[in-house]
Chains A and B, each alone.
Chain A
Amino acid sequence: AQSVTQLGSHVSVSEGALVLLRCNYSSSVPPYLFWYVQYPNQGLQLLLKYTSAATLVKGINGFEAEFKKSETSFHLTKPSAHMSDAAEYFCALNAGGTSYGKLTFGQGTILTVHP
């Protein structure tokens, strides 16, 4: 069985500060991993994805994530937070193969950015 755990349901940072959102996973097969962002009253938008190529993945809006197999982690970072980054972020896992894109989501982390 697969699972995704996001550490911290709420993260608050100042504008310009480092953003770090934590995600740990459990999977019996090599996973594909994703970070999605959800702005209020909107759908989910893909930020970035890991698909077994480079372990450091760059996404949109200056975000990046590093796949660490030894730590079963896929933390999301951004060097300098912007007010527009305030949203809810979801880490997700796809077991691939015949799972037909069945994503297992984490609980979500709400990012607040203070001026």
Chain B
Amino acid sequence: DTAVSQTPKYLVTQMGNDKSIKCEQNLGHDTMYWYKQDSKKFLKIMFSYNNKELIINETVPNRFSPKSPDKAHLNLHINSLELGDSAVYFCASSHTGLAGTGELFFGEGSRLTVL
């Protein structure tokens, strides 16, 4: 069983289109994240949800809209795709709380290519 699974793994689309990436975790964690890895492999947090509540939004353009229907799912919808959105998007989860250290479990990534 995959702990953190993302779909699709690869996504190729045209500028201006809207696309979504889905993420599910079966670890029972209470916090989920979206990270973006750019072409230089630099990883940066985009969003974090704790128990379905948005708690981190790192000045991401509002074309990006995360949605968490429940603790186990966190989806990312991107409107009006731009060339600069091409990247690998990683979903991650963790148990965060007094006993939590913030250790993250990552999915395998979704490679988005905007043409």
Contacts and interface: CB of A to CB of B under 8 A. Distances in A.
Are A and B co-members of a single complex?
Answer: yes
Interface of A: 32, 34, 36, 38, 41-46, 49, 51, 88, 90, 94, 96, 99-103, 105, 107-108
B78 interface: no
Given A43-B107, A90-B43, 14 more contacts: A34-B103, A36-B106, A38-B41, A43-B4, A43-B106, A43-B109, A44-B43, A46-B104, A94-B101, A100-B48, A100-B96, A101-B102, A105-B42, A107-B40
A96 B103 CA distance: 10
Interface of B: 4, 31, 33, 35, 40-45, 48, 50, 55-56, 90, 94, 96, 100-109
Contact of B101 (A51, A102, A107): A51
Contacts of B108: 42-43
A108 B43 CA distance: 9
Nearest to A32: B101
A96 B100 CA distance: 8
A46 B43 CA distance: 15
Contact of A32 (B31, B33, B102): B102
A2 to B, nearest CB: 12
B102 A102 contact: yes
Contacts of A100: 31, 48, 50, 55-56, 96, 102
Contacts of B43: 44, 90, 103, 105, 108
A34 B105 CA distance: 12
A36 B108 CA distance: 13
B94 A101 contact: yes
B31 to A, nearest CB: 6
A38 B41 CA distance: 10
A96 B50 CA distance: 15
Given A43-B109, A108-B41, A101 B104 contact: yes
Contacts of B45: 102-103
Contacts of A88: 41
A102 B106 contact: no
Contacts of A36: 106
A96 B98 CA distance: 10
Contacts of B90: 43-44
